Structure 1
Amino acid sequence: MDKLNLFSNLNTNKSIFNQLQAAREKFGAVDEADITTLPNDYIELENKVDALESVHKHLLKVTKVYENESYDYPVQFHNSISEQSGQLWHSFSSFANSNLKNVNIPQPTAPVPQPKTLSHALSRAAATSALEIGEIDHLGNALTKFALAHDKIGNGRLVQDNDILIGFLQPWQTTLNTSIQLAKNARSQVRNSRLWLDSCKQGLKTASPQKVEQARLEMESAEDKLVTQTETAISLMKNVLENPEPLTSLNKLVKAQISYHSASVEALNTIQGDLEDIQRSAEDDFK
């Protein structure tokens, strides 16, 4: 117990001396020549890690939107009756299955919460309108196809968001919380060791003849510790900067976006031809 108390007191004393040393440096009470200079490559690595941390924070701040299903959902639809339209979708599914060839839409046995995306909102609005107009009407037929396409697009957006969550958001957040944070912790240890070394140097200058040897030993020990911790911090910072994981995750983000947008274009191209046919048929009937 006495050894633990001694160790605790020593750490407390070091912390106090470090704070005093930092304050003296801040207010210009220490000559620059008496402040230990860290290696240039260490300073460069610090700047690069700071930049990498900033990049992670900036992109995560924006891409976290993918964690929220309703990021593009019309505000006025929140908590509206359209969110509880399971029964309506059941009716529309029956209509579509009986009137559209090669279309198989699962029919829910009970109302279920509907996805909150813009495409799903468009799909539900079009489905409602198709039921109101009727299945025979040209516009009702077109709205049915429009609703089905946007339901597919909405489902694709949910898949995209999940892929981005797993492939980009989680890895980048992990990098920020682990390897970057470990490097920052190591840098903090280097700073504390540097302050302690310079404090020991000041102590050696003012030591009485009886305590010069003890002060010199403390300074040498502080020098050795600073060298060791600087090497550790350099190793951790290099590991962070050389890790290709951020690029891998960014590539996964782009792939998820490409997959979603490509499928969306395909779905719209598919119904666009059908809509033109319906349009021509309506124009012929109008003549």
Structure 2
Amino acid sequence: MDQIQSFGKSFAANFSPFAASAARSQQYLKEQLGQADDKTQLPPDYVELEKRVDALKQVHKNMLAVTSQFSNEAYDYPPNLKESVLDLSRTITDKVQLLSMANSAAEAQQALTKPGPKPAPKTFNHAIGRASIASAQLIDHSDPLATALEKYALASEQVGEARLQQDQIIQQRFNSPFTTTLNTNLNVFAAKARRNVENARLTLDSAKSRAKNGPLGFSLPSVGAQKKPEVLPSDDHLTEEQRQEIEAAEDEFVGATEEAVGVMKNVLDTPEPLRNLADLVQAQLEFHKKAYEIYSELAPLIDGLQVEQERRRVIDATLSTRPLYRTYVLYFSGFTSHKHLRASKVLGYISARGGS
């Protein structure tokens, strides 16, 4: 007999967690079906904290959905651009250095196609730099446009490298801590504390329901009987076992709620998200400052080449018209009686002015 009682106690102890889980599941199902009339309400302050935590969680998801692209080197790379492996085999700086030492067209071509120790990154700035250096080799090296394209290629590579440095900083100082906050503080600590509150509430409501409707937690309506409003029995009508079960469930619910409030306040009060955002902005600021400095140095050089090209164009145009002007003068001077004298004077005048 003692063995049977011992087995019964052992079975009840081992079965208790499963019974509690089943009771919570049954209570949850009743609530979903609209059959629970006395659902315990959570404190308003607690509900407000839940809303704030959910909002902060969505903030992290929204930001990471975009900033995660900083881990993709080619996020701004032209999607329809077709570059070969040879195009990406060497950096622009390496190509420019090799081209400056090339003594023939074959050596220049080898400088553009021979693989180097470091492959070229696939970013927009690097791509436009490669297009510029390749274009510069298609025209005469003395052409100001070739010089400008080469300088623009080097500047574009520098901007591209600055962008890669920005991306690395953002990954380290924004994406990584933001992901940790989302996956740990929000999805683990806060979520676990809230689940504990929900489980405690379901346990409490399940205990109340059993005290009111019997061990099953609900009453079986008789045929033809009119449903009566369910009223929770007063403490005087509760058995000692029911009273102890409800009081224990209430204590568990209050304790879980207080703990969850503390956890959620800690999650909400941390300065980490704002600090991470400041680091994100600073990284972008440094990149754009660097790009501004590079282009500010490049722009006057390009303008100078443009001015020089225009000056040469004017000189060439002037020189190209002088032989026609001389022919024009000599032709019309022939209608005078002293055409040889007049022609010599005109030629002397042109020579004095620097004509050919």
2:180 equivalent to 1:143: no
Q: 1:222 aligns to what?
A: 249
TM-score (norm. length: structure 1):
0.88
Number of the residue aligned with 2:231: none
Structure 2 gaps of 5+ residues are 1-6, 103-113, 216-235, 315-356
- 1:212 and 2:216 equivalent? no
Cα 1:144–1:79 change in 2 (3 A) is closer
The alignment status of 1:188 with 2:195, answered yes or no, reads yes
Q: Identity of aligned pairs, percent?
A: 39
Equivalent residue number for residue 341 of structure 2: none
Structure 1 residue 266 and structure 2 residue 273: aligned? no
User: What's the CA shift string for 1:210-235, capped at 9, x where partnerless?
Assistant: x9222221111111111111111100
> Are 1:207 and 1:215, in contact at CA under 8 Å, matched by a contact in 2?
no
Higher mean displacement: 214-223 or 248-257? 214-223
CA distance 1:91–1:163, change in 2 (3 Å): closer
Counterpart contact for 1:83–1:113, Cα < 8 Å: no
Q: 1:118 aligns with which of 124, 133, 140?
A: 124
Q: Among residues 35, 41, 44, which one is paired with 2:48 in the alignment?
A: 44
Secondary structure of 2:304's aligned partner: helix
- Please say if residues 201 and 219 of structure 1, whose CA atoms lie closer than 8 Å, have aligned partners that are also in contact: yes
The 3 A distance-change label for structure 1 pair 264 and 7 is: farther
1:152-186 CA-to-partner distances (Å, cap 9, x unmatched) read 00000000000100110001100001111210111
Residue 116 of structure 2: SS of its match in structure 1?
A: coil
| Correspondence 1:231 to 2:258 | yes
**Tell me, what secondary structure is at the counterpart of 1:199?**
helix
The CA distance in 2 between the partners of 1:192 and 1:132, in whole Å, is 74
Residue 161 of structure 2 corresponds to 155
Higher percent of residues as helix = 1
Distance 1:151 1:25 in 2: 63
Greater RCO structure (CA 8 Å; 6+ sep): 1
How far apart are the structure 2 equivalents of 1:236 and 1:40? 16
| Equivalences, count | 275
8 Å CA contact 1:17–1:199 kept in 2: the answer is yes
Q: TM-score by structure 2 length? A: 0.72
Q: Distance in 2 between matches of 1:266 and 1:4?
A: 78
1:80 maps to which residue?
84
Distance 1:128 1:4 in 2: 83
Choose from 135, 160, 185 the match for 1:179: 185
RMSD: 2.6
Q: Which residue of the other structure, out of 10, 19, 40, is the alignment partner of 2:16?
A: 10
SS across alignment from 2:239: helix
User: Are residues 7 and 271 of structure 1, via their aligned partners in 2, closer, same or farther at CA, if it must alter by over 3 Å?
Assistant: farther
Distance of aligned partners of 1:56 and 1:49 in 2 relative to their CA distance in 1, 3 Å threshold: same
Q: From the superposition, tell whether residues 92 and 131 of structure 1 become closer, same or farther in structure 2 (CA, over 3 Å).
A: farther
Match of 1:55 in 2: 59
User: Do the aligned partners of 2:89 and 2:115 also contact (CA within 8 Å) in 1?
Assistant: no
Q: Does the 8 A contact of 1:89 with 1:124 survive in 2? A: no
Match of 1:250 among 277, 296, 318: 277
Q: Is the 8 A contact 1:67 1:161 kept in 2?
A: yes
Question: Unpaired runs of 5+ in structure 1?
Answer: 99-107
Is 2:130–2:153's contact at 8 Å kept on the other side of the alignment? yes
1:239 Cα deviation (Å)? 0.5
